[in-house]
Amino acid sequence: MFKRILASTVLFSILATATPSMDQASAAGTAYHVNVSTGTLNVRNQPSTTGKVIATLAKGYNVTVSSQGNGWARISFNGKVGYVSSKYIASGSTVTTASTVSSNYKSKAISIAKSNMGVRYVWGGTTPSGFDCSGLVTYSFNKAGYTKLPRTAGEMFNAGTKVTAYQPGDLLFYATSGGLKVTHVAIYIGNGQMIHAATSNGVSITSINNTYWKPKFMGAKRI
């Protein structure tokens, strides 16, 4: 009996050493995989469901957990700090990180988008049978090996790093309904041009100085 107890104690000690707890790992600033069954995770300004949602993160997004308690985790992402439910983060998960994605995924995404030139615009469309604006962007980047983009233009606008000097592969955002709400996204392809899925022309290339699009521009993000 004593030997069985001793063996169990030794085994537990080995497992505890080999697999640190979430709290132990978060104290070390470990990057966690956001595991969200619904596809997005709300980030709030305080550890409560009554906290204001300040961003949404897509499934597979890496965050750094600095502390946890009462079912909430304090995280940092894109230079921001917020709180998410601890049950939606999992340490040790297999993730796609910047180091494992080919450095030329942006040029590949542009090539894939261009290969779909002329495809008709379809609201909610995510395949070459029809694209909406964000559907074209997510499809192109997913095929290029970058799978961390959220689904909608508004959600994408909360990801990445804001830039004012554009590079091919940066995402450009527009408010087509007036106001400040982002409703359209395009991919910058260089030389003052962007490729996007437009309601009028489907997948097409246009100038970023186009008289229709320029006044509606909301900003650019680098992913």
Q: Tell me, yes or no, if 196 is annotated catalytic.
A: yes
SS3 209: coil
Residue linked to tokens 């942006």:
106
Q: 133, 144, 203, 223: which is the annotated catalytic residue?
A: 133
Half-sphere exposure (CA, 13 Å, Cβ side) for 114? 14
The span from the CA of 135 to the CA of 140, in Å, is 8
The span from the CA of 98 to the CA of 222, in Å, is 13
Q: What is the distance in angstroms between the CA of the first residue and the CA of the last residue of the chain? A: 58
Q: 33, 44, 148, 196: which is the annotated catalytic residue?
A: 196
Q: 74, 106, 148, 184: which is the annotated catalytic residue?
A: 184
Q: Tell me, yes or no, if 133 is annotated catalytic.
A: yes
Q: Tell me, yes or no, if 177 is annotated catalytic.
A: no
- Alpha-carbon torsion (163, 168, 170, 171), positive or negative: positive
Provide the annotated active-site residues.
133, 184, 196
